[in-house]
Chains A and B, each alone.
Chain A
Amino acid sequence: MSITLDTHVGSPRSRVDGRLKVTGAAKYAAEFTAPDLLFGAVVSGTIAKGRILRIDTAAAQTVPGVVRVFTHLARPRLPPDDEDYQDTVAPPGRPFRPLFNDRILYSGQPVALVVAEDYATARYAASLVRVEAAIEPHETDLDHARPEAYVPPEKRQGITPPPKQRGNAAEAFAAAPCRIKNEYRIASEHHNPMEPHASTVRWEGDGRITVYDKIQGVMNTKEYITGVFGLKPDDVRVLSPFVGGAFGIGLRPQYQLFLAVMAALDLGRSVRVELTRDQMFTFGYRPGTINTVALGAGPDGLLQSIQHEAVAGTSRFEDYQEVVVNWSSLLYHCDNVALDYKLVKLDTYTPADMRAPGAPLGVFAIESAMDELAYALRIDPLELRLKNQAATDETEGKPFSSRELRAACLQGAERFGWSRRRPEPRSMREGRELIGWGMATGIWEAMMMPHSARAILTADGRLEVASATADIGTGTYTILTQIAADTLGLPMERVTARIGDSTLPRAPVEGGSWTAASAGSAVLLACRKVQEKLLACARGLDGSPLANAAIQQVRFADGKIELITDSSCWMTIAEVMQTAGLERIEAEETAEPDAETMQNYAQYTHSAVFAEVRVDEQLGVVRVTRLLDAIAAGRILNPKTARSQIIGGVVFGMGMALTEETSTDHRLGRIMNRNLAEYHIPANADVPDIEVIFVEEHDDKANPLGVKGLGEIGIVGTAAAIANAIFHATGKRVRDLPITFDKLLA
């Protein structure tokens, strides 16, 4: 199918929900209310492992206004089977069951829910709950547990395990003239969305509930609730119109949802449970990961061997997996490749997908190692990468659907002024600051998921498109509006996008950078269907100027349907509908990835990141003064929101490189910096102007729109580019993120 979308699609458009957001009119999960709403406060456990011997809730229960204190001993009946707690994103294992029994599985685990008539009362009463526990030995330290690392026996759905060895990597490494072998580590991180997790459950009577949840996909919440609580699908409606940042932590239903629904069903009243910032550190996170990379190359710089192993933490109860090592082989051509990915069980909650899950971890390792190789070989780091580019996906032996990585590298380098870089470390300086330029490439999957959407055109010339997807700040509302407006030739103001409602056509969670491709295609198909119905209608009208027109022969523009070959033959949409006596034209369509394309092509987005840092060596102060990300991601639907997506990802990468770290006291098995004052995301003062380039890339295979997704690619190469720039500035190779004072001064 070929479609010209060129009025709004491809042009910078402001967010259609921007005004709602900046005026506070956009409502988030904890802002919805209900008559006689009750408020829940969660009591968090403090030990890392053991059994609850006693929970004293007496004092809490005597506080006026407290309605009920739920604990594992005082709760409604719950299904005992783990499977009932599965959600669509769950990794293999036994999902966490809140308040299920006396077992403490990790520090911060919810052990009670206090429900009261107001939030302050609930919170106060929660502080009075006393837990007595038998402590058992725990392990939260990845380094200690590393000898126990194992290959996950059951693969996680959607996660490609490392491919089998090609050639003989160890032998080729031993024989290679130039060898690099090092360990690269990334600290555990938390997502820290601005909006804390919250669920407001409105009791509708007769066991029916409406749930406002912080979630990246209402269907996941709905199916989780019906699974756990045995509710009929018709009795649960889930809404999540706006999400205040999620970055992956909103993919799986979290325990506040479970607790709010449990309390609402048990009490027959509306209940809201909102977590504190502190409690945002009591579930998913990006797992701390240790990479070992060994590269062997010839004097010509061509890779002869790639070995990349990674070990990452997971919980005792689930085998969380992400793609960490495969990227090394996807980026570079090499005949001898051995990749390995193992897990270590820790007494923590299960990690969660966090923006480009796995990719920035493995890419930091391989792109640092490539940088080290470049210095060892005295080859320009950019040139080394270009020399070794993979022409095909060697992990699966497929061609790429499109891959303008070389163009991204070259255009990025040109714009950054890379040719003016002096190759020697410590060779650029201004005042007391050493200046360093570093670069790295990035890669992420371009995915599409089955996705449904509905389009309704009404006689007043308005169009509504709807789907149960989410907008987690990415601009989904806006791009769906653009696509729909262009398809039917309407101004954007006449189009409304509705999302975040489980009564709308089915959609997967918003994640993996697949929403623009999937939801966009679904909206396109539904609008195409409306076009066809409308034209059929127009054709049938008496004396219609479009009587014999086929769909390929007409254009929808300016609220009209007109013959492409004769612009004097046209009817307005309103005219057609009024004459035909139609109130509305409705169509629902499902977009699916093309099985043959999936079978035959590898689909990825790519980037080249260039960074300039200035380092005061004596003081260990690093300032990132320039960042440029050149992106090859197919068609760009909206350069304005697209740029925002990349900038956000790049800032995430800066955090990974320089500031973000979840600090655990392993004696206590407890995270200690559970707030935004001590968990450091970059502040405005840290972030320079970030330049984003979108490289021309035409992909007619990825999906009907030719888009490849932008949510994740911005972060992927950033940390490596910054670390490489720091090496260029200082001659110090820090292989342990984040690069903080202590590491730079050591």
Chain B
Amino acid sequence: MNRFSYLRPGDVRGAIQEIASDPAARVIAGGTNLVDLLKYDVERPTRLVDISRLPGLDAIEATPGGGLRIGALVSNSTLAYDDRVAEHYPLLAAAILAGASPQLRNAASTGGNLLQRTRCHYFYDTGTACNKRDPGSGCPARTGVNRIHAILGTSEHCIATHPSDLCVALAALEATVLVTGPDGDRVIPFDRFHRLPGDHPQHDTTLAHGEIVIAVELPAQEFASHYTYLKLRDRQSYAFALVSVAAALDLDGDRIRTARLALGGVAHKPWRDTAAEALLCGRPATADSFARAADVILAEARGYGHNDFKIGLARHAIVRALEQAAAGTPQSQTDKRIR
């Protein structure tokens, strides 16, 4: 860990100034990921700007449009157990509770969850090359230990995945991200918040330096009755997803009116496929329809050796998650049985 200055500005404007004026400044809120990165010398900031006590960012409020606005500093635990979230957006609650541990969820913030970085072994190991950590140095993961790596949207420079569970649900729920920065406020559709690695794997998101996440907004459509968050991982708790699926359906009898589908653990971003969702619309909620959706999502999937199994696993996971959603038997995060 290097030496840095630690600042705790009193308001959002002040925070933005402190960040924007120093290209090597980093924002800290819950610190559940950044502190690890500091210890591993992956992040070597000159200053840490602590926003954890900024006023006005820790509320969960109804929006005029019938949705919910979640302040960036709302902890993962608070969010998961909030009555409105638990009742109206249970997909979000389920995804949060599938991740990390109670202690981590107590400390981790909503905004920070969006900005957590990949678990790629090479990214964490400054003794190896990594295009995300050190652009241009190479990607040993492509032909190395890549069991946990991406099968969709990869580039020749990076096959890392985004590790969040919460974000997979936010992608499926079509959330928006409210950010503010030196040039004012922006609203970023969730699908455009995280990016694919392409030629610039060092950038996880479209957030500019100096911008901070203020809130996440959920639209009115809740999918409270037909949803599931199915997470497959190497142990039944406290492990990142090898494949996860957030599925949400709006049914008209046994026909699908609206479908939402996003995958975690398979790409550099929560992987939502609107073509697969469109395919499901108007179809009967059957295993056959679900398998077709899986085919669409995975058409371009490719493995890199150790992670080849993820393609087949994702196919089964998509079908199962949609079946559970259709049947109204969501995946429980306490009883680990999968239905």
Contacts and interface: CB of A to CB of B under 8 A. Distances in A.
B339 A432 contact: yes
A46 B320 contact: no
Contacts of B317: 619
Contact of B119 (A664, A670, A678): A678
A677 B119 contact: yes
B1 interface: yes
A123 B1 contact: yes
Interface string B27-62: 000000000000111000000000000000000000
Contacts of B239: 677, 680, 683
Given A120-B1, A680-B234, A276 B39 contact: yes
A586 to B, nearest CB: 48
Contact of A742 (B125, B238, B309, B316): B309
A685 B145 CA distance: 26
B234 A740 contact: yes
Interface in A101-129: 107, 120, 123-124, 127
B313 A741 contact: yes
A684 interface: yes
B200 interface: no
A160 to B, nearest CB: 35
A623 B313 contact: no
B242 interface: yes
A621 B128 contact: no
Contacts of A620: 232, 313
Given A619-B338, A665-B145, A680 B1 contact: no
A139 interface: no
Contacts of A741: 232, 234, 242, 309, 313
A657 to B, nearest CB: 12
A157 to B, nearest CB: 36
B234 A618 contact: no
Interface string B114-144: 0000010110110110000000000010011
B232 A619 contact: yes
Given A127-B1, A667-B140, A741-B309, A684 B119 contact: no
A557 interface: no
B2 interface: yes
A680 B125 CA distance: 18
B148 interface: yes
B147 interface: yes
Nearest to A121: B3
Contacts of B306: 742
B65 interface: no
B234 A46 contact: no
Given A670-B128, A742-B309, A745-B309, A685 B235 contact: yes
Given A673-B121, A741-B313, A659 B235 contact: yes
A672 interface: yes
A102 B269 CA distance: 44
A742 B235 contact: no
B145 A663 contact: yes
Contacts of B308: 742
B39 A665 contact: no
Nearest to A676: B238
Given A124-B3, A623-B336, A685-B336, A746 B309 contact: yes
A397 interface: no
Contact of A659 (B140, B234, B338): B234
A741 B39 CA distance: 31
A195 interface: no
A683 B309 contact: no
B274 interface: no
B337 A686 contact: no
Contact of A621 (B143, B145, B232, B237): B232
A484 to B, nearest CB: 40
A267 to B, nearest CB: 23
A431 B119 CA distance: 34
Contacts of B144: 665, 667-668, 672
Contacts of B125: 670, 672, 674
A685 B236 contact: yes
B253 interface: no
A616 interface: yes
A283 B29 CA distance: 35
Given A432-B339, A684-B237, A619 B320 contact: yes
A672 B234 CA distance: 16
A673 B120 CA distance: 9
Contacts of B40: 278
A163 interface: no
A746 B306 CA distance: 12
Interface string B166-192: 000000000000000000000000000
Contacts of B337: 431, 433, 614, 623
Contacts of B227: none
Given A665-B144, A672-B144, A683 B2 contact: no
B312 interface: yes
Contacts of B235: 658-659, 680, 682-683, 685-686
Contacts of B312: 745
A663 B147 contact: yes
Interface in B223-258: 232, 234-240, 242
A13 B320 CA distance: 48
A107 B147 CA distance: 21
B140 A668 contact: yes
Contacts of B1: 120, 123-124, 127
A740 to B, nearest CB: 6
Interface string A17-46: 000000000000000000000000000101
Given A431-B339, A663-B147, A684-B237, A678 B121 contact: yes
Name, among A120, A621, A684, A746, the residue most crowded by chain B CB atoms within 10 Å (CB to CB).
A621
Nearest to B2: A124
Interface in B283-339: 306, 308-309, 312-313, 316-317, 320, 336-339
Nearest to B143: A667
Contact of A672 (B3, B121, B238, B309): B121
A124 B2 CA distance: 5
B90 to A, nearest CB: 20
A686 B236 CA distance: 6
B140 A46 contact: no
A621 B121 contact: no
Contacts of A123: 1
A41 to B, nearest CB: 10
A683 B128 CA distance: 29
Nearest to B333: A685
A57 B122 CA distance: 25
Contact of B127 (A431, A623, A670): A670
Given A668-B140, A670-B128, A745-B312, A683 B237 contact: yes
Contacts of B309: 741-742, 745-746
Contacts of A742: 147, 306, 308-309
Contacts of A618: 316, 320
Nearest to B306: A742
Contacts of B145: 663-665, 672-673
Nearest to A278: B40
A203 B297 CA distance: 65
Nearest to B4: A124
B236 A623 contact: yes
Interface string A588-625: 00000000000000000000000000101011110100
B279 to A, nearest CB: 21
Nearest to A277: B39
Top-5 shortest CB links A-B: A46-B127, A685-B237, A672-B121, A742-B309, A685-B236
10 contacts: A44-B127, A127-B1, A659-B234, A677-B240, A678-B121, A682-B235, A683-B239, A685-B235, A685-B238, A742-B309
Given A620-B313, A741-B313, 17 more contacts: A46-B127, A120-B1, A120-B3, A431-B339, A433-B337, A619-B320, A619-B338, A663-B145, A667-B143, A680-B234, A680-B235, A685-B235, A685-B237, A740-B234, A742-B306, A745-B309, A746-B309
